[in-house]
Amino acid sequence: MSVKSYRELTVWQKSIALAERIYVASKAFPKEESFGLTSQMRRAAVSVPSNIAEGAAREGTGEFLQFLSIAQGSLAELDTQLLLAERLGYLKAAQVRDLEHACDEIGRMLSGLRKSLKQSG
């Protein structure tokens, strides 16, 4: 892979934007959720770009693949938490669908990057 920095990766850029959107969306959650769902959603959202960045900074392709797998897992966590937030009435259905669409897009990009790394490595 000929990328000078993880910041050049579109999947990293989109996942940073998603994390920011999760912070904004979760601001309106009830105060009693600040150490519960709010915190979990924010941690999962931040984990995605963080693991992409950490994996890209590692020496080998195998390590990068491992961190991309962790990012994919965090994305699945976030997707589950979005559904729960909707069921609890913290987020509107349209807002959740929009965020889920972003999760799906990032998930496809992560899968594509992993496939590409496996083929080149």
CA trace torsion 105, 59, 50, 5 (10° rounding): -70
d(CA 25, CA 45) in angstroms, rounded, equals 12
Q: With cut-offs at 50, 70 and 90, classify the pLDDT of residue 3.
A: low
Environment class of 89 (CB within 10 Å of its CB; exposed 0-12, middle 13-18, buried 19+)? exposed
For position 45, which CATH number holds?
1.20.1440.60
Task: Give the model's pLDDT for residue 37.
Answer: 96
- Note the pLDDT tens digit of each residue in 19-57: 999 999 999 999 999 899 999 999 999 999 999 999 999
d(CA 41, CA 47) in angstroms, rounded, equals 10
Number of domains present in the structure of the chain: 1
65 lies in some domain: yes
Average pLDDT, the chain: 95
111 lies in some domain: yes
100 lies in some domain: yes
- Note the pLDDT tens digit of each residue in 77-86: 999 999 999 9
Full-model pTM: 0.94
Identify the domain containing residue 81 by its residue range.
7-120
